[in-house]
Structure 1
Amino acid sequence: MSATAYEHTSKVEVVIERRNAHLLTRDEETLAKLGYKQEFKRAFTMFETFGLVFSIIGLFPSIASVLVYAIPNGGAVSMVWGWLVASLFLMTIALAMAELASAAPTSGGLYFWAHHYASPKWRNLFAWIVGYANTVGTIASVASIDWGCAVQIMAAATIGSPHLSFSPTTSQTFAVYLAIALSHVVVCCLGTAVLARLQNIYTFLNIALCLAITIVIPAVTPKEYHNTASYALGNFTNLNGWPNDFAFFLSWMSPVWTICSFDSSVHISEEATNAATAVPWSIVLATGVGGILGAAILIVLSFFMGTDMESIVNNPIGQPMATILFNSLGRKATLSLWAIVVIVQYMMGSSMLLASSRQTFAFSRDGALPFSRYLYRMNSFTGTPVNTVWFSGIGAALLGLLSFAGPAAISAIFSISVMGLYIAYSVPIMCRFAFRGSANRFEPGPFYLGRWGLPIAIVAVHFMAFINVIFLFPSTPHPGANDMNYSIVVMGSVLIFSLTWYYFPVYGGVNWFRGPIPTINPQYIGSEEGNSDTRQSDVALEKKVDT
């Protein structure tokens, strides 16, 4: 390299470093205005912030985990059209959340917004309820992802056994589940920079798997499993006994659980560079890409899965997606592809635990969780909140004990992960518009919907309320004790506990909880003069580089 070229490259690097320094300063100033000091290392780039949300969506492994809800409740129609219709509604949630995330990018996210935008009379209670719903919802999301991963591993064991003879017991599946959950704890205790770089691997592997499925299945599936367009896009198969229209809504568990956890990137706001822009766009882009790629996968499946829906659901393999792949690819090819599915599902759990631990950290920072004084600690070696990683990981492991109460009980984890988060999402979105005047301190960030904000918020909140009601119903119209939907029991217990503790005499949160606790003087703003001087020097340096 010539001396001139080397000097030019060096100057470019200086400009980039100065620009990055501006971003960090701007992020820290924004966080200071919200009342918090910078405690995390900001190591997540915009692509890695997107990668966190996209890896949690997981697409193909996620669809594999919840396909059992779509096939019995409408078959091909619910798989394709249910996904497309629900995806449009899910985008409204993403947009409403993105607007809030851009205005106040902090790890506390949802409960911080609820407190920030509600009236003084209600803000403490709303923040309390949202914080607990969000904490439980994220922990349940970890549990549902890890349980899906355990089931996928056991499905691989069944496929590999002679004549599909292996049938895993609940204890065996739970043991695998426990190992997955604990290994995720170890991974998420790593430093922020390592966790950020992992998202790149997760994202590329996720996209590669989606593309491989859409290419391989049409190419190798035997003709006996090929379906006509009229069947793939118009057949409605109802195996569970609900009226067809209601069954169609029940099938929405598949897209709603898959494209969920919009708040995951919000909880790493204090670890992301240019968070006010990166976080909202990561939510919107991940939701859009997930909706499009997910629709493509499901259309391919509907054309190449055959017509015997009952055999797909009740196959000895015990996993509808694995059964479809087995029919299309055979034993060896299915096991090879399924190994990648398991790896991607495992990565989903790791990313979700990362987001959950940050929500727990933020909530304990404000003293709202039991043992907050122990949870709100940053590990000096890794620079991450190791204690809250263990708290969320152990909480997820304990939720897995529901598996011993039967399939319906463990299915409640999937419902809770959606219901808890939808409660947490709805309240701050409503507060953003419901409380006007001096109590509402909404100041738009770089991502702003303008006049479209209100109608989008109305649609999003009504959709989430509708889904929460739908998910309280059992899978069949006349359930026995083993087929009941236990979501209301588990979620109701959590809400009752949180409200009881809030209003408990003397020791309850109503006596001491005041919402987010500033860890820095909110009046602090970085030196504008210093920033101006630095920006001017950057402009001069860029002119030199250009010439």
Structure 2
Amino acid sequence: MATDSDAILLAQLGYKQELKRAFKPHEVFGIGFSIIGLVPSIASVLVYALPNGGPTALVWGWLICSIFLIFVAMSLAELGSAAPTSGGLYYWSHRYAPPRWKNLLSWICGYSNTIGNIAGIASIDWGCAVQLMAAVSIGSDMTFIPTTGQIFGVYAALIVSHVCIASLATSVVARLQGVYIVLNVLLCFAIIIALPAATPGQFKNSAKYAFSGFSNLYGWPNGWAFILSFLAPLWTIGGFDAPVHISEEAANAPVAVPWGIISAASIAGILGFAINIVLAFCMGNDVENILANPIGQPMATILFNSLGRNGTLVIWSIIVFVQFLMGTSIVTACSRQIFAFSRDGALPGSGFLYRINKHTGTPVNSVIFAAFGALCLGLLAFAGPTAISAIFSLAVTGQYTAYIIPISSRFFGGQEWSPGPFNLGIWGRPVAYITLLWMIFTITVVAFPTTSSPTGADMNYTAPVFGAVIILSALYYYLPVYGGYYWFKGPKANVDTVGSGGDDSSSGVSAVEEFEKEGKN
């Protein structure tokens, strides 16, 4: 059985099988694709593309970004095929980094991945709360405008509901992915087909405007404004590591995980390109009015102009629901990464977090920890709209930092590389180099403020927030006596092994023999 071979491979990596392998290959794809959640995500971040290029940014900015993001997906897929474990990124960092630096790099990678995933929960659920309140505003004919406190209340309720769903048995969470795939694809085609058919003539744009029209509302040079619009596809086509984090619950993980990563990113890039072309043709040419509309959501305004109040409420309700489903998937993936990181003792309270609920067979404590972290990040909303936007950027910055470390460790660490069933062969190195340059570049981009002359109110706080996370994790690592420097040795094997005392490379024949012996019993 595939699950037997998966468990043997996991034992070779140093871990015993503790979670149930209930995810089928298409469901592994589903968790990545549902976290991307194309239409809801585009709706959440359209505010970054429209003022920084308008239709040109929607169409060509998306296309350029999508191509590079597929490179990122391929680099991660190689690693995910070679060593499919829920710890993924920090595990690979430790395995391939130079011996002198592997503990520290694994530590930093794990914390970057953790904060990136938690920020992903916060950004998805905050976007869902804003979209839900926008629906109420539309339904009230704009007589109701929500306060920050009201939006935060909805946000907190969404997080609590996602804790309940993500804590369900693995088999239940896995079967839900099929539903998520269908709803996401149907919503994409609904926008692609219905919006052009319903848009009145005054809001339809020419091909020249749709493919070359440009708007620049924030004062940056046109070229840099266009680059800043990349934040929209960067945040939308994100969470590549989600299939990795459920790899210990996936059947035939060495194959299912890499193809789940690549197919999710590729299909999202193609469908998203089509959706953005439709928006460019059907949004009218008054970008300033779209952004200033009291609805507060550019996508909702475009739909309202084309479909009217009732039609918009129908489509928007589906968008909100699909965004809600995105939240359940990101909480699931994040909790598995936290479970794995605490299994290796790296997080405060690891003994509490590394527990599997005996009723559901899932790491419920890790689910709650992830949700609580996201709830705390949501408090940034009370510092103003610019502060809450840092969460969107933090999800990109945290994840990309966590991607850079293992990919660069593989090629520059000097350690032996044993590829899995999916590998790029001689193309692995050039693809990785393009990936690394792209991610370093985009981390710089997302740290820039919205306008060219920022004040305290509209400054980008991504750098100080993420910097604080890295600094605090480094301080914890080097804390005298109690810091990770004195006790963190990377991934710890939890099966009987022979070799170097529990390092990820120490588990071998004895680990496999133990599993096979348990299986016979």
Which one of the candidate residues 32, 36, 45 is aligned to 1:66? 45
Task: State how 1:216-255 maps to structure 2 within 5 Å.
Answer: 216-255=194-233
| Cα displacement (A) at 1:81 | 0.1
Separation in structure 1 between the aligned mates of residue 430 and residue 144 of structure 2, nearest angstrom:
52
Task: State how 1:36-115 maps to structure 2 within 5 Å.
Answer: 36-115=15-94
- Equivalent AA in structure 2 for residue 244 of structure 1: N
Separation in structure 1 between the aligned mates of residue 37 and residue 421 of structure 2, nearest angstrom:
28
| Cα displacement (A) at 1:526 | 4.5
Q: Using a 3 Å threshold, how does the CA distance of structure 1 residues 525 and 499 change in structure 2: closer, same or farther?
A: closer
Alignment deviations for residues 351-371 of structure 1 (CA, whole Å, 9 cap, x no partner)? 000000000000000000000
| Cα displacement (A) at 1:25 | 1.2
- Equivalent AA in structure 1 for residue 143 of structure 2: S
Aligned to 1:287: 265
1:337 aligned onto 2:289: no
Alignment deviations for residues 393-429 of structure 1 (CA, whole Å, 9 cap, x no partner)? 1110111000000000000000000000000000100
1:131 aligned onto 2:114: no
Separation in structure 2 between the aligned mates of residue 286 and residue 238 of structure 1, nearest angstrom:
31
Asked if the contact 2:12/2:512 (under 8 Å) is kept, the reply is no
Alignment deviations for residues 98-118 of structure 1 (CA, whole Å, 9 cap, x no partner)? 000000000000000000001
Aligned to 1:541: none
1:492 aligned onto 2:471: no
Asked if the contact 1:53/1:264 (under 8 Å) is kept, the reply is yes
Asked if the contact 2:339/2:366 (under 8 Å) is kept, the reply is yes
Aligned to 2:501: none
Separation in structure 2 between the aligned mates of residue 284 and residue 503 of structure 1, nearest angstrom:
37
- Equivalent AA in structure 2 for residue 98 of structure 1: A
Moved over 2 A (4+): 523-528
1:426 aligned onto 2:393: no
Please provide the CA RMSD for this pair. 1.3
Alignment deviations for residues 142-178 of structure 1 (CA, whole Å, 9 cap, x no partner)? 000000000100110111113x222110000000000
Separation in structure 2 between the aligned mates of residue 490 and residue 114 of structure 1, nearest angstrom:
23
Which one of the candidate residues 280, 286, 299 is aligned to 1:308? 286
Aligned to 2:457: 482
| Cα displacement (A) at 1:525 | 5.5
| Cα displacement (A) at 1:314 | 1.0
Separation in structure 2 between the aligned mates of residue 364 and residue 526 of structure 1, nearest angstrom:
23
Asked if the contact 1:225/1:306 (under 8 Å) is kept, the reply is yes
Separation in structure 1 between the aligned mates of residue 154 and residue 457 of structure 2, nearest angstrom:
23
Aligned to 1:28: 7
- Equivalent AA in structure 1 for residue 278 of structure 2: V
TM-score by length of 2: 0.96
Aligned to 1:141: 120
Separation in structure 1 between the aligned mates of residue 368 and residue 267 of structure 2, nearest angstrom:
32
Unaligned 5+ runs, structure 2:
498-506
Separation in structure 1 between the aligned mates of residue 273 and residue 337 of structure 2, nearest angstrom:
31
Which one of the candidate residues 432, 440, 460 is aligned to 1:457? 432
Other structure's SS at 1:73 match: coil
Other structure's SS at 1:151 match: helix
| Cα displacement (A) at 1:237 | 0.4
Separation in structure 2 between the aligned mates of residue 473 and residue 526 of structure 1, nearest angstrom:
50
Separation in structure 2 between the aligned mates of residue 485 and residue 261 of structure 1, nearest angstrom:
22
Asked if the contact 1:25/1:526 (under 8 Å) is kept, the reply is no
Q: Using a 3 Å threshold, how does the CA distance of structure 1 residues 25 and 525 change in structure 2: closer, same or farther?
A: farther
Other structure's SS at 1:64 match: helix
Separation in structure 2 between the aligned mates of residue 479 and residue 248 of structure 1, nearest angstrom:
18
- Equivalent AA in structure 1 for residue 455 of structure 2: G
Asked if the contact 1:130/1:424 (under 8 Å) is kept, the reply is yes
Aligned to 2:344: 366
1:271 aligned onto 2:249: yes
- Equivalent AA in structure 2 for residue 86 of structure 1: C
Separation in structure 2 between the aligned mates of residue 189 and residue 262 of structure 1, nearest angstrom:
22
Which one of the candidate residues 274, 277, 300 is aligned to 1:299? 277
Separation in structure 2 between the aligned mates of residue 450 and residue 127 of structure 1, nearest angstrom:
25
Separation in structure 2 between the aligned mates of residue 224 and residue 244 of structure 1, nearest angstrom:
27
Unaligned 5+ runs, structure 1:
1-20, 535-547
Equivalenced residue count is: 506
| Cα displacement (A) at 1:119 | 1.1
Asked if the contact 1:70/1:78 (under 8 Å) is kept, the reply is yes
Other structure's SS at 1:238 match: coil
- Equivalent AA in structure 2 for residue 170 of structure 1: T
Which one of the candidate residues 201, 204, 209 is aligned to 2:182? 204
Alignment deviations for residues 418-461 of structure 1 (CA, whole Å, 9 cap, x no partner)? 0000000001000110022xxx1321000010000000000001
Other structure's SS at 1:194 match: helix
Separation in structure 2 between the aligned mates of residue 525 and residue 114 of structure 1, nearest angstrom:
22
- Equivalent AA in structure 1 for residue 47 of structure 2: V
Other structure's SS at 2:246 match: helix
Separation in structure 2 between the aligned mates of residue 527 and residue 183 of structure 1, nearest angstrom:
42
1:150 aligned onto 2:129: yes
- Equivalent AA in structure 2 for residue 60 of structure 1: V
Q: Using a 3 Å threshold, how does the CA distance of structure 1 residues 150 and 130 change in structure 2: closer, same or farther?
A: same
| Cα displacement (A) at 1:527 | 6.6
TM-score by length of 1: 0.91
Alignment deviations for residues 443-502 of structure 1 (CA, whole Å, 9 cap, x no partner)? 100001000000000000110000001111100011111101011111011000000010
Alignment deviations for residues 302-347 of structure 1 (CA, whole Å, 9 cap, x no partner)? 0011000001111000000000000000000100111100010000
1:517 aligned onto 2:496: no
Separation in structure 1 between the aligned mates of residue 417 and residue 489 of structure 2, nearest angstrom:
19
